[in-house]
């Protein structure tokens, strides 16, 4: 069975919950690494006040014994420190219905969710739709990263653009996360980083928000992960669904998919050559490491395009669903720009999608079995 996951919880509820199943037994659940990933999710200029309140740490309450997976579903809890200020409003024992959201926010889930579930107050929608819930995704993604690490597969990210400011492309994937995490906006281009910082500060001063592009890179994959045999096993589809379901992501690109759409095939596709030692090589990677729904041995390149966050300090024009009157959208606490931390979240989504495909291909009840089977797998590259 492939590795699968589910998350639950509300932004201001008591806790966030993530459950990941079919993780083989014997995987070391490194709490320091996992909590470090949760800290990375809080990185970047443009984050809101919530990051100053929370101190996210994952508590493993099932599926782990003595820091090792046991083969059964793993449950991670992340407690919301801010819940104490919302206990009467959010949760099973809530006694008050204050803090309503009726001035619905354009670009958010508010109005569609309220219509779908027959609500006159979008608070329930906002609580679950909130990007706060990505904390549980990152905790589970960290487990997927630990699984992939045993096979020599590494997932990293950096900021490729914020607003109109674009960074230079990178082709050296060593130490990407270490270098990116040291920058205010997780950008590897110093000049672009400075301009991105200025853009975010200007947006904050004007009560506005900014989007951008995060690039996720996966190295160490042998060819053949994924499959062409069925739509639901194609790795590019798994990755695009996982990344595209993250809040504020409006487009997902594999390789040079967007720019390549305007090229002739002779200028886009990655030609194949023998290396003289029985293997093959490519001089380009416009396909982004995936062909026919499978890895081809090149680094996997994914770009996530984030829209500007829909919660603006000044509020956009909207209606009050309680009265039907024209008004300004609710001013919920929010970020100015989520792109730097969004890259970390996308890493987790990609890692979980890749772990799903790898585990579907290799099976294995124990990590020792998985590692042995991956090492034995032949690769053309």
For residues 116 and 294, what is the distance between their CA atoms, to the nearest angstrom?
37
The SS3 assignment for 69 reads strand
Number of domains into which the chain is organized: 1
Residue 263's pLDDT is 95
pTM for the whole structure: 0.95
Task: Supply the DSSP symbol for 231.
Answer: G
Residue 311's pLDDT is 86
Residue 256's pLDDT is 97
For residues 66 and 218, what is the distance between their CA atoms, to the nearest angstrom?
30
Strand ranges inside 275-316, DSSP E: 280-282, 290-291, 294-295, 300-306
Tokens of 280: 């093959």
Range of the domain at 161: 4-376
Tokens of 329: 């959208």
Q: Give start and end residues of each alpha helix (H) in the chain.
A: 31-40, 50-53, 110-116, 123-129, 134-149, 176-181, 190-205, 235-244, 257-260, 265-268, 339-362, 367-376
Query: Does residue 16 form part of some domain?
Result: yes
Query: Does residue 381 form part of some domain?
Result: no
CATH code where residue 240 lies: 3.60.150.10
Q: CA torsion 116→122→124→125, rounded to 10°?
A: 60
For residues 181 and 222, what is the distance between their CA atoms, to the nearest angstrom?
27
- State CA 280 to chain mean position distance: 32
Tokens of 100: 């309503």
Residue 334's pLDDT is 73
For residues 357 and 176, what is the distance between their CA atoms, to the nearest angstrom?
24
CB 328 within 8 A of CB 311: no
Q: 209 burial class (0-12, 13-18, 19+ CB within 10 angstroms)?
A: buried
What is the maximal distance between C-alpha atoms in the chain? 74
Residue 118's pLDDT is 95
Task: Supply the DSSP symbol for 277.
Answer: S
Among 169, 147, 146, 145, smallest CA distance to 155 is for: 145
CB 226 within 8 A of CB 239: no
For residues 265 and 165, what is the distance between their CA atoms, to the nearest angstrom?
29
Residue 52's pLDDT is 62
Residue 118 C-beta-side C-alpha neighbours within 13 Å: 0
Residue with tokens 């798994």: 238
For residues 51 and 27, what is the distance between their CA atoms, to the nearest angstrom?
30
Query: Does residue 266 form part of some domain?
Result: yes
Reading the chain (381 residues) residue by residue, the pLDDT tens digits are: 899 999 999 999 999 999 999 999 999 999 999 999 999 999 888 766 555 677 899 999 999 999 999 999 999 999 998 888 888 888 888 887 788 999 999 999 999 999 999 999 999 999 999 999 999 999 999 999 999 999 999 999 999 999 999 999 999 999 999 999 999 999 999 999 999 999 999 999 999 999 999 999 999 999 999 999 999 999 999 999 999 999 999 999 999 999 999 999 999 999 999 988 888 899 999 999 999 999 999 999 999 999 999 988 888 899 999 999 999 987 776 789 999 999 999 999 999 999 999 999 999 999 999 999 999 987 766
């Amino acid at each position: 069975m492939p590795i699968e996951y589910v998350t639950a919880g509300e932004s201001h509820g008591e806790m966030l919950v993530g459950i990941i199943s079919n993780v083989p037994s014997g995987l070391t659940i490194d709490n320091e690494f996992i909590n470090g990933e949760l800290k990375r999710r809080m990185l970047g200029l443009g984050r809101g006040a919530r990051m100053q309140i929370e101190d996210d740490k994952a508590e493993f309450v099932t599926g782990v014994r003595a820091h090792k997976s046991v083969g059964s579903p793993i449950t991670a809890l992340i407690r919301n420190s801010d819940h104490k200020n919302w206990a009467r409003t959010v949760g099973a024992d809530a006694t008050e219905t204050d803090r309503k959201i009726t001035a619905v926010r354009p670009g958010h889930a508010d109005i569609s969710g309220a219509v779908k579930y027959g609500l006159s107050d979008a608070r329930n929608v906002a609580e679950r739709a909130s990007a706060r819930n990505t904390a549980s995704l990152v905790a589970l993604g960290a487990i997927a990263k630990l699984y992939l690490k045993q096979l020599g597969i590494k997932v990293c990210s950096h900021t490729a653009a914020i607003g109109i400011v674009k960074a230079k492309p990178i082709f050296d994937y060593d130490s990407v996360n270490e270098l990116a995490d040291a920058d205010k906006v997780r950008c590897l281009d110093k000049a672009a980083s400075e301009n991105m910082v200025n853009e975010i500060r200007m947006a904050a001063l004007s009560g506005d928000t900014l989007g951008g592009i995060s690039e996720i890179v996966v190295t160490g994959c042998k060819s053949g992960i994924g499959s062409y045999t069925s739509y639901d096993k194609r790795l590019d589809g798994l990755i695009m669904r996982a990344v595209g379901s993250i809040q504020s992501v409006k487009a997902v690109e594999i390789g040079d998919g967007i720019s390549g759409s305007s090229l002739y095939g002779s200028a886009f596709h990655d030609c194949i050559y023998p290396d003289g030692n029985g293997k093959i090589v490519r001089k380009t990677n416009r396909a982004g490491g995936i062909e026919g729904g499978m890895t081809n041995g090149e680094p996997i390149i994914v770009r996530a395009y984030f829209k500007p966050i829909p919660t603006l300090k000044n509020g956009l024009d909207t209606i009050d669903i309680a009265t039907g009157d024209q008004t300004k959208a609710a001013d919920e606490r929010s970020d100015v720009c989520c792109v730097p931390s969004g890259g970390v979240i996308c890493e987790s989504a990609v890692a979980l999608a890749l772990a799903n495909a790898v585990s579907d291909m290799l099976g294995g009840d124990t990590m020792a079995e998985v590692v042995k089977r991956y090492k034995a797998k032949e690769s053309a590259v």
